Amino acid sequence: MTPIEIAILTTATFCTSALTSVVGAGGGAALFVIMLQVMSPATAIPIHGAVHLISNALRCWLLWPHMAWPIILRFSILLPVGAAVGLLLFKGLPKEVVQIMIGCFVLISLATRQLKSLHNKDLPLWAFVPIGFSAGILNLIVGAIAPILGVLVIRKDLTKENVVGTLGFFGFLGNLAKVVGFALVGFSFQEYGTTILCMMSAGMIGTRVGRALLSTLDERIFMLALRVVLVTLALKLIVYDGLALLWA
């Protein structure tokens, strides 16, 4: 990758990590769609997984006492199987189809977040077994599924710390499966070592300084701006990078 591209991704990681530290979610999806502007899905998905593996591990360590283990254990049972299925599907899909799927999933994630206020019934614990399987598949194809998982995990018997910690563990498992899966099929993380290290460092710094830099700003403005950016980039992936090339 060129120094300019590395600088763009490093800056994007810092900004999206800072954003997440203020508004709580959305930064991972925003970073992923930005990454797709400078690299293919086959490169962006494993690098995104490697970068967020460390941040999720840190979140798990900090919130270990708050983990909702009954949910986590059920979620974990079939996730590796789903990841294997997802990797097979990903390898067989054209790049344009993957980009259309990613763009559609971003739009679905945004719509799902708007329905959070309507979520007044807890999912049964057994439901997290198929959810884990589905998450394993989608994580390998569309890259960032935390917004939808966040809606599903919210329960009346869980505190905010429980939800954040459990989602962090979900992210750790999903990104670990992503990194292992792509490594097994020959993706060279070493080739992108400089990019990954720069993005990891920027993410940790952005998380630490984000609250101090952005807490005085209106969260609603940030969320509106984030949604506009995500919708714009998602439509670009669907129409310009996907459908236009398929029809060409």
pLDDT one digit per residue (tens) for the chain, 248 residues: 888 999 999 999 888 777 666 555 566 777 888 888 888 888 988 998 898 888 778 778 878 888 999 999 999 999 999 999 988 888 777 877 877 877 787 787 677 665 555 455 777 889 999 999 988 888 887 776 776 777 778 777 887 778 778 888 888 898 899 899 899 888 889 999 999 999 988 888 887 776 666 556 665 666 676 677 778 877 887 887 778 767 75
Sign of CA dihedral 9, 15, 19, 21: positive
Give the model's pLDDT for residue 164: 76
Distance CA 115, CA 167 (A): 18
Nearest alpha-carbon partner for 196 in 6, 2, 34? 6
How many whole angstroms separate alpha carbon 237 and alpha carbon 124? 35
- Between CA 12 and CA 178 the distance in angstroms is 21
pTM of full prediction above 0.85: no
- Token pair listed for 72: 């986590």
Q: What is Dmax (Cα atoms) for the chain?
A: 54
Amino acid identity, residue 122?
A: D
The pair of three-digit structure tokens given for residue 163, joined into one six-digit string? 């939800």
Task: Using DSSP, state whether 188 is helix, strand or coil.
Answer: coil
